Amino acid sequence: MDAIETNSLGRRFGDVNAVESLDLTVQKGEIYGFLGPNGAGKSTTINMLLGFTPPSSGSGTVLGYDLEHESVAIRQSVGVLPEDFGVYGRLTARKHVRFAIETKGADDDPDDLLGRVELADVADRTAGGFSTGMKQRLALAMALAGNPDLLILDEPSSGLDPNGAREMRAIIREENERGTTVFFSSHVMEQVEAICDRVGIMRDGRLIAEDAIDSLKDRFDADSRLVFTLDTVADDIVPALETMNGVTDINADGNDVSVVVADASRKAPVIEAVGASGVTIKDIRIDDSSLEDLFATLTTGERPTSRHAEENAANTTQLIREADQ
């Protein structure tokens, strides 16, 4: 049994097809990133999964429960972090969590749940004075009540600074390592690339791609760019590279030569060819397509226009990966 399965699930609001013919499969134990720009249909999908919005067509199950007829059981079994979560300013963190435990009819120790989100030290403080990151983590502690097999997190990192987002990712990973399936929606691509096993990308109510991130990059011809800084650019180097198999674009600018290859396996032959041409390579920079590029390609049909934006995206992803290690 999959954690989430939908079959041709759809929801219309008047003329708007908010979600259309959605076939989604989230396997047990995975971290699944549900991506899409504003208005793509992510929240409507989550609301249907939780039984808050009835579907106009199709069907689905969450943890084996039918989403139309067993939504109470779904809400009892799933931990949810809603996008618009608000705290009760005068209640302590512990009281928030105790409330969630009682609502679920569970018997967790509130301090244990607060410890799992790094809030044990502030259990007696009122939540009104918490930072955005602390509020998000408090909401996550509440979602953990009842030891859910599935966590549905709607934009869990929204409004967080890089440190807050990193803490959130570490906690999500820990919960996943305890065996919890995680389904989270986001439009922050780097967050998803840094943590998810698989992603599904929504556009205009439809799931336009679903796969492991690396496979998605392969499938959508994500390219790699090599930027060489040479001691001198010999006249024949650009024509020689142009004839190489897999090279799709070349630009020479001063002593910099930038070469785009269609897939990552073509990088090594290009580096060898430049080395063998007799020039001295002073520096090589490699930019692999990031999920940000892929997302832009899939959701707008265009590659990012600014090289700078691409570099930023690649660098940010790298920084997030390094920071998480």
Ligand X SMILES: Nc1ncnc2c1ncn2[C@@H]1O[C@H](COP(=O)(O)OP(=O)(O)OP(=O)(O)O)[C@@H](O)[C@H]1O
Binding part of the chain for ligand X, among 31-39, 95-103, 218-226, 245-253 by CB under 6 A, reads 31-39
Verify binding: residue 82, ligand X, rule CB under 6 A: no
The residue (of 42 and 96) whose beta carbon lies closer to ligand X is 42
Cα–Cα distance measured from residue 2 to residue 231, given in angstroms and rounded to the nearest whole number = 57
- Does residue 295 sit in helix, strand or coil? helix
Pairing relationship of beta strands 65-66 and 57-62 according to DSSP bridges: antiparallel
Residue 199 CB, nearest distance to ligand X (Å)? 14
Residue 182 CB, nearest distance to ligand X (Å)? 18
Cβ pair 136, 64 in contact under 8 A: no
Cα–Cα distance measured from residue 258 to residue 284, given in angstroms and rounded to the nearest whole number = 10
Residue 14: count other Cβ atoms within 10 Å of its Cβ: 6
Closest CA to 29 of 202, 229, 196, 247: 196
Residue 190 CB, nearest distance to ligand X (Å)? 16
What single letter denotes the amino acid at residue 250? I
Closest CA to 96 of 46, 50, 158, 144: 144
Closest CA to 135 of 183, 85, 185: 85
Would you give the DSSP letter of residue 149?
S
- Compute how many residues bind ligand X; rule: CB under 6 A: 12
When binding is defined by CB under 6 A, the residue of 3, 4, 9, 18 that contacts ligand X is 18
Verify binding: residue 39, ligand X, rule CB under 6 A: yes
Q: Per the structure block, which two tokens stand in for 324?
A: 């998480």
The residue (of 39 and 269) whose beta carbon lies closer to ligand X is 39
Place of tokens 């690649």: 314
Site string for ligand X, 236-275 (x = CB under 6 A): ----------------------------------------
Place of tokens 């392969």: 218
The residue (of 53 and 71) whose beta carbon lies closer to ligand X is 53
Residue 261 CB, nearest distance to ligand X (Å)? 34
Verify binding: residue 199, ligand X, rule CB under 6 A: no
Verify binding: residue 6, ligand X, rule CB under 6 A: no
Verify binding: residue 84, ligand X, rule CB under 6 A: no
Verify binding: residue 203, ligand X, rule CB under 6 A: no
203: Cβ contacts below 8 Å, ≥ 6 apart: 36, 37, 40, 298, 299
Verify binding: residue 15, ligand X, rule CB under 6 A: no
When binding is defined by CB under 6 A, the residue of 44, 71, 191, 289 that contacts ligand X is 44
Residue 19 CB, nearest distance to ligand X (Å)? 7
Verify binding: residue 16, ligand X, rule CB under 6 A: yes
Cβ pair 156, 185 in contact under 8 A: no
Cα–Cα distance measured from residue 43 to residue 19, given in angstroms and rounded to the nearest whole number = 10
Verify binding: residue 298, ligand X, rule CB under 6 A: no
Place of tokens 């509440």: 142
When binding is defined by CB under 6 A, the residue of 10, 33, 41, 79 that contacts ligand X is 41
Binding part of the chain for ligand X, among 12-20, 120-128, 266-274, 302-310 by CB under 6 A, reads 12-20
Q: Which residues bind ligand X (CB under 6 A)?
A: 13, 16, 18, 36, 38-44, 187
